[in-house]
Amino acid sequence: MPSIGGIPLRGPVVLAPMAGITNSPFRRLAVEWGAGLVYTEMVSAKGLVHGSARTEELLSFSEAERPIACQLFGSDPKSMAKAATIIADYSPDLIDINMGCPTPKIVRNGDGAALLRTPSLAFEVIQAVVEAATVPVTVKIRSGWDEDSINAVETALLAQRAGAAAIAVHGRTRDQFYSGDADWEVIRQVKDALTIPVIGNGDVKSPSDARDMFQATGCDLVMIGRGSLGNPWIFSQAVEVLNGKEPFAVTPAQRVDMLLRHLDMLQVLKGPRLTLGESRRYVGWYLKGLPKAGLIRQKVARAETLSEVKNILQDYLSD
């Protein structure tokens, strides 16, 4: 089995951190279906240092989710170091530093992907967290800020020199956000330049994509983000393909059953009102491509209670 910094992983295909998505129920289902490593949603170092209840809530996880990395974002080395010491109380397996988030509210403060524009500061941040942390530290980056400043190899080498135990590379620039195609060649270049494990990320939407990324880049691990939305099975399916097998099929009934279970888990975490609000996107994810999916989405959009949503799905299941 692969490992990072001496921490054994469950397998070679891992779940990407996704803000507002990879909460505990999402992570638990990913682990059940073969994710080798999961991440918390990204957590603000400043929020953690200042005792934000929401920030602390994002760091909570169950033992069933291990191995797990807590992901931090911030650009002040002192705050990031302090946050790393606070995270020790939660006992994660790894700490991951987010240097890839492209959203304006993050980068305008110099955080996330903005650190790609200041490699020397990125080095200071990583080094500060490594020195303060009690667990291995990893870093997630993009290929660069824009097409005129592709510096993933430079940034990755700095991360390695600062003591990072692994680095994840999303093969898009910050300016691309999630559009266009991911550049897997950049991932290969980073892998060729480093001695620490490299995690490839970007455009892994199917089990065969995971195999293709391994072959094209030589990366040590493959990270799946949007390809796992409403599709926790993709991790096990990818491992099957890597082992030379045909991926198992998932029936429409299994999709609906898993959706109902996922909503039940969310209800325990967030309560029925918040889960009702979020149910619409989960229905869209799980039922994508299935017969009458559009009609079901319309019915769910009009539902006034979570129980009504579940009844709609049960009726669809029995049709």
**pLDDT at 22 (0 to 100):** 97
pLDDT band, very low/low/confident/very high, at 84 (cuts 50, 70, 90): very high
Asked if the model's pLDDT at residue 319 lies above 80, the reply is no
pLDDT band, very low/low/confident/very high, at 61 (cuts 50, 70, 90): very high
The CATH code of the domain at 252-318 is 1.10.1200
Asked if the model's pLDDT at residue 106 lies above 90, the reply is yes
For 192-251, how does the pLDDT look when each residue is reduced to its tens digit (9 = 90+)?
999 999 999 999 999 999 999 999 999 999 999 999 999 999 999 999 999 999 999 999
Asked if the model's pLDDT at residue 146 lies above 80, the reply is yes
Q: What is the pTM (predicted TM-score) of this model? A: 0.96
**pLDDT at 312 (0 to 100):** 96
Domain ranges of the chain: 3-242, 252-318
**pLDDT at 55 (0 to 100):** 81
3-class SS of residue 248: coil
Please state the separation of Cα 265 from the chain's center in Å.
19
Kindly state the tokens that stand for 293: 């999916």
Mean pLDDT of 87-105: 96
- Domain 3-242 and domain 252-318 have a common topology: no
User: d(Cα 200, Cα 220) in Å, to the nearest integer?
Assistant: 8
Q: Judge whether 81 and 63 are in contact, CB under 8 Å.
A: no
Helix (H) or strand (E) holding 252: helix 252-270
**pLDDT at 43 (0 to 100):** 95
For 3-57, how does the pLDDT look when each residue is reduced to its tens digit (9 = 90+)?
999 999 999 999 999 999 999 999 999 999 999 999 999 999 999 998 888 887 8
Burial of 64 (0-12, 13-18, 19+ CB in 10 A): exposed
**pLDDT at 102 (0 to 100):** 96
**pLDDT at 150 (0 to 100):** 97
For the chain, the average pLDDT equals 96
In 3-state terms the chain splits into helix, strand, coil percentages (rounded to 5) of: 50, 15, 35
For 283-316, how does the pLDDT look when each residue is reduced to its tens digit (9 = 90+)?
999 999 999 999 999 999 999 999 999 999 999 9
Sign of CA dihedral 30, 47, 53, 136: positive
Residues labelled as active-site residues? 101
CATH 3.20.20.70 fits 3-242, yes or no: yes
